[in-house]
Amino acid sequence: MTTSTLITPRPGGTATADTAYGAYAAKPAIAATVTSPSAPRTRTAVDRVPLLALLAPLLLFTHGIVDWVDGLDSLEDNGVVRTLGGLGGLAAARDQGALSVAAGMLLVASVAGFAWLTTALGARLRHLPLALPTALLAAFGAGATGAVWLGHVTGLLGDTIPAALSSGGAVLTGVALAAVLVALTVESHLPVGSLALAAVAAAVLLLPWGLRPLGSLLLLIALAPLTRPAEAADAVGPA
């Protein structure tokens, strides 16, 4: 007599011979993955004032030197070229107009540097609302200087244009920079001595004696306190 084992069926299913115990086992719980939000990244604004306060006066100094050499009359007649034979290339460059083009490019670059410096310094103002008007005035002056130089190079403007048109753009940029320097002095961000020396440099630059190299060096000394980085950099919003 054969003995058989009866398997009691479980509720909800029929027991068979190949039914495994794991079929009725509970499925393992899936661990929830929680992603923590990353902290917002901040980027620090790069302070261009120290570089611009050094570069713009140096470009103006170089322009003054090149313009002075370009304005020398009859180098060969005075015997300068024969005495210093290496200067023969300067006379040839002047005759071909290369020195005039280089002087104009340096002037445009220096005025653009001062315009950028004016905008960067205006951002440091906390109480006087001069940042936007001075930035617009400086940018307009730089654009006018570039347009006049381009007109000279292309021949659209002659050599007998009024002085107000030829140097007006640089003067506008200088006025904007002067306004910002005064505002910085009022807000105690610039020493009074630096402002006074900058005024002397501006007076020297306006003299009709070709003293731009001297005026630019005085301006470089006046802007020396600005060549130091700011104590605290302003943080820009999340990237």
Per-residue pLDDT reduced to its tens digit, 59-116: 999 999 998 888 775 454 555 544 444 444 444 444 446 888 888 899 999 999 999 9
Q: Percent of the chain scored above 70 by pLDDT? A: 66
CA distance 3 to 80: 132
Of 131, 13, 106, give the one whose Cα is nearest residue 56: 106
Report the chain's mean pLDDT, rounded to a whole number.
76
Query: How confident is the model over 193-222, as pLDDT tens digits?
Result: 999 999 999 999 998 888 899 999 999 999
Note the pLDDT of residue 160: 72
CB-side neighbour CA atoms (13 Å) of 24: 12
* pLDDT score of 190 more than 80: yes
| Domain definitions of the chain by residue range | 56-67+97-227
Which of these ranges, 49-53, 90-94, 135-139, 151-155, has the smallest mean pLDDT? Answer: 90-94
Site of tokens 């069926």: 9
State the first-to-last Cα distance of the chain, in angstroms, to the nearest integer.
Answer: 85
Amino acid 45: pLDDT: 57
Mean pLDDT over residues 153-169, rounded?
Answer: 79
| pLDDT tens per residue, range 24-62 | 445 555 545 545 455 445 445 578 899 999 999 999 999
Residue 235: its pLDDT value, please? 38
pLDDT of residue 230: 65
Query: Residue 237 has what pLDDT?
Result: 35
The pLDDT of residue 10 is: 53
Report the alpha-carbon distance of residue 114 to residue 139 in Å, rounded: 9
pLDDT at 121: 93
pLDDT given at position 209: 85
Q: Output the DSSP codes for 54-89.
A: HHHHHHHHHHHHHHHHHT---TTTTTHHHHSGGGHH
Predicted local confidence at residue 99, as pLDDT: 82
Contact 204, 215 (CB under 8 A): yes
Compute how many other C-beta atoms are within 10 angstroms of the C-beta atom of residue 146: 18
Task: Tell whether the model's pLDDT for residue 239 goes beyond 50.
Answer: no
CA–CA distance, 150 with 175 (Å, rounded to integer):
23
- Average pLDDT (160-179) is 87
pLDDT of residue 84: 45
What's the chain's length in residues? 239
Which secondary-structure segment (H or E) carries 235?
strand 235-238
- E strand or H helix at 163, and its extent? helix 163-166
